Amino acid sequence: MLYRLVKALAAVSTGLLAGAFGYGVVNVVYAFNTVPVPVRLTFHAALMQVNAVVMQLMMGLALLSTLALAVMAVSVPRLLAAGSAAMVLTTFLITRFGNVPIHPLIEKWAVTSPPTGYTAILDRWEMFNLIRTGTGFAAFGLIVFLLIAGGERMPLRRTPVAVAAK
């Protein structure tokens, strides 16, 4: 029962993570690039304040559930779950060290004005965003493959009481 619950949690959390990043790439970044720069910067700054909490929690839940699944599974499912955990961790690291350092600049530009060459910095943010979206989808894809393949789980340990009762 616990194994099924962890599999479901890993599927839901990695699916939400991939979906959130996918929506961002397809819709939000498109909107960023079609509105005037001051609107983009203001919206981007506001969105990042909300995302700072929501996405970190989502990444944390995805990482914990995929790691738990890797511990509980055996054979190929263990490798798939561990690979998914590695992709979630990579997503987090790209976010933390790629995207997040750019956020204070965007927040500053939203209340002042962007400096010359700011588009290169925004392009760098978009590149990191696209890469982390790919790693998020990879994490979800590995879990989906695990579910389709039918993951084996660790056999339940027989306690001395259970053995004695037989």
* pLDDT for 64: 98
* pLDDT for 149: 84
The pLDDT tens digits for 58-106 are 999 999 999 999 999 988 999 999 999 999 999 999 999 999 999 999 9
Average pLDDT, the chain: 91
SS (H, E, C) 46-88: HHHHHHHHHHHHHHHHHHHHHHHHHHHECHHHHHHHHHHHHHH
**Between these two residues, 160 and 113, which has the higher pLDDT value?**
113
Residue 156 is given by DSSP the state: P
Cα(111)–Cα(76) distance, integer angstroms: 51
Q: Alpha-carbon torsion 117, 120, 123, 125, what sign?
A: negative
* pLDDT for 92: 97
pLDDT category of residue 150 using cuts at 50, 70 and 90: confident
* pLDDT for 94: 98
C-alpha neighbours within 13 Å on the C-beta side of residue 101: 8
Query: What residue ranges do the domains of the chain occupy?
Result: 2-151
pLDDT category of residue 166 using cuts at 50, 70 and 90: low
Per-state percent for the chain, helix, strand, coil, to nearest 5 = 85, 0, 15
Cα(154)–Cα(165) distance, integer angstroms: 22
Cα(77)–Cα(132) distance, integer angstroms: 23
- Burial class of residue 77 in the structure, from the number of CB atoms within 10 Å of its CB (0-12 exposed, 13-18 middle, 19+ buried): buried
- Output the pTM of the full model: 0.87
**CATH assignment of 2-151?**
1.20.120
